[in-house]
Amino acid sequence: MSTIAAVLAATPSPSPSGVPDVDVTPGVAGFVAIALVAVVTILLVVDMTRRIRRTRYRAEVRERLEAEVAGDRADAPAEGAPAADGPTAGAPVTDEPSRRAAEDGRADVGDDTERG
């Protein structure tokens, strides 16, 4: 038993060698990675702000056009009278897809979220 105690006492315990954890930094690779994340985040925020602004402006324009169309309908001649600008100029557009197709020139538009 004394030889085992002597062997265990003779083996050195591992000591920490090298640089302490306090001095370890991510270095250039870590800086580049964080800088790329920051740039991508800024670009995404700018793009999101642009898209929100565009959607808001489209809604304002649509409201103005609807108000203008409602004003034109009030001033339009009776249904039996021919329109002065053409065969369909005085005819009211009754359903939403037809109104949007006439307004936008596109029949495939569903709502603002489908536009790019």
The yes-or-no verdict on residue 114 having pLDDT over 80 is no
Question: How far apart, in whole angstroms, are the C-alpha atoms of residue 65 and residue 103?
Answer: 8
pLDDT at residue number 26: 85
59 near 112, Cβ under 8 Å?
yes
- Judge if pTM exceeds 0.85: no
Question: What is the chain's mean pLDDT, rounded?
Answer: 74
Share of the chain above pLDDT 90, in %: 34
Among residues 86, 67, 66, the alpha carbon closest in space to that of 77 is found at 86
Token duo for residue 58 = 């489209």
Which contacts qualify for 24-32: CB closer than 8 Å, 24 or more apart? none
Token duo for residue 20 = 């302490």
Does an H or E element contain 65, and which? helix 27-75
| Residue that wins the pLDDT comparison between 18 and 107 | 18
- pLDDT tens column, 25-50: 888 999 999 999 999 999 999 999 99
pLDDT band at 101 (very low <50, low <70, confident <90, very high): low
93 near 102, Cβ under 8 Å?
yes
pLDDT band at 2 (very low <50, low <70, confident <90, very high): confident
Coil, strand or helix: which one is 11? coil
Among residues 93, 97, 95, the alpha carbon closest in space to that of 108 is found at 97
